[in-house]
Amino acid sequence: MTTPTPDPRWRGRWPVLAELGLPAFCVPEALDGFGLRADVAAAAATELGAALHGGPFAGLTASAHLLAHCPGDPAAEEVLAGVLTGERICAFGYLGPDGQVARLVDGAPGADALLLLDRRRDELTLLADPAHWSADGRRYGFDITRTCADVTPTGGGGHRLTPPADALARAVDLYELLLAADAVGGVARMLDRTVAYAGQRIAFGRPIGGYQAVQHRLADHTVRARGMTLVVTEAARLLAAEPTTAPARRQARRAVALAALSVSSGAPPLLHDLLQLTGAIGFTWEYGLHYFERRAHHDARLAANPRHALRSLAQVEGWTDGS
């Protein structure tokens, strides 16, 4: 059997999900969105992660939020209109230290618009035509449920956007939060499947789930999975409250950093042990539990976690001068 590749059919079905409002969760109501419903967006990201959906939902949601906060900009309004109907996919990524290449841009190979953030200068660039960038995804075949690429802008087709600083910060928080929620969805689905497998797999005349060692490991993983779910839910709740004061914004940022750190450091080893509990069957293409572990690793890489999350938490708490 050949190695599976990302399913391209998600793009053709995306307008149906867009009609239900998925790209509009964090777009202001005045622009036909739902406001800052980070809690609903996180719930959707969890389900999409559990389904191994191929779309760049985290980046798309962050992009829609940013585009919606550039009023009066014709280019941003045009791309946002296409995103809300599902006709356009706008990916989101960070420019590297050289300011020339954006590494690990989720969904870049199939996107028709890009938002690239230079975090050193808080500068945001919109590329509204695939002719204005080149994408190289050869290094990113580990997660076979999605596409990812390094992006190099070409031809000077970038358009500078100037959203408010708070909108820019919220978009980064949304991106990190939804990547964590995506991994949590995969953890929940893989845990359910492993528990079901433990009740069916017979060894020495009884289901392996009847052995105390297996029971204890599954119980421990259930508690850890619940903990990750709770920190993501709390971060989404605080972000959805649209914090306006400095203490509230700090509390929301801290919660997002904690969620990102908890999931990015906890999900991969948890998923790896669940994979071990299924024995050789979990490693096969047909059973495919390893898809979830691959995806969780990639979620962490996309957000530069857990190291980035730990630095963010340290800065929020005042444990470092940020240098």
What are the tokens at 293?
């572990």
Residues 242 and 196 occupy one common structural domain: yes
- 244 CB-contact burial (10 Å; exposed 0-12 / middle 13-18 / buried 19+): exposed
Residue ranges of the chain with pLDDT lower than 50? none
**Quick one: 132 and 20 in the same domain?**
yes
Instruction: Please indicate, yes or no, whether residues 206 and 85 belong to a single structural domain of this protein.
Output: no
Give the per-residue pLDDT at 305: 72
Query: For the segment 176-204, what is each residue's pLDDT rounded down to a tens digit?
Result: 999 999 999 999 999 999 999 999 998 89
Count of domains forming the chain? 2
Question: Is the same domain home to 93 and 54?
Answer: yes
What CATH number does the domain containing 259 carry? Answer: 1.20.140.10
Which of 259, 251, 92 shows the shortest CA–CA distance to 168? 92
Residues 140 and 181 in one domain: no
Bridge-based pairing state of the strands 123-127 and 159-161 = antiparallel
DSSP states along 89-115: -EEEEEB-TTSS-EEEEETGGG-SEEE
Domain that holds residue 211: 166-317
Among 128, 163, 198, give the residue marking a domain's end: 163
Q: Is 252 a domain residue?
A: yes
Same domain, 32 and 145: yes
- Is 183 a domain residue? yes
Which of 163, 195, 212 finishes a domain?
163
Domain boundary among 144, 163, 182: 163
> 146 and 174 share a domain?
no
**31 and 151 housed in the same domain:** yes
> Would you state the pLDDT for residue 265?
93
In a domain, 150, yes or no: yes
Mean pLDDT in the chain?
A: 93
Contact between 258 and 231 under an 8 Å Cβ cutoff? The reply is yes
Judge if 150 and 138 occupy the same domain.
Answer: yes
- 255 close to 238: Cβ distance less than 8 angstroms: yes
Residue 79 and residue 128 share a domain: yes
Do 139 and 223 sit in the same domain of this protein?
no
* Residue ranges with strand state E in the chain: 90-94, 102-106, 113-118, 123-127, 133-136, 148-153, 159-161, 202-203, 206-207
Same-domain check for residues 40 and 146 = yes
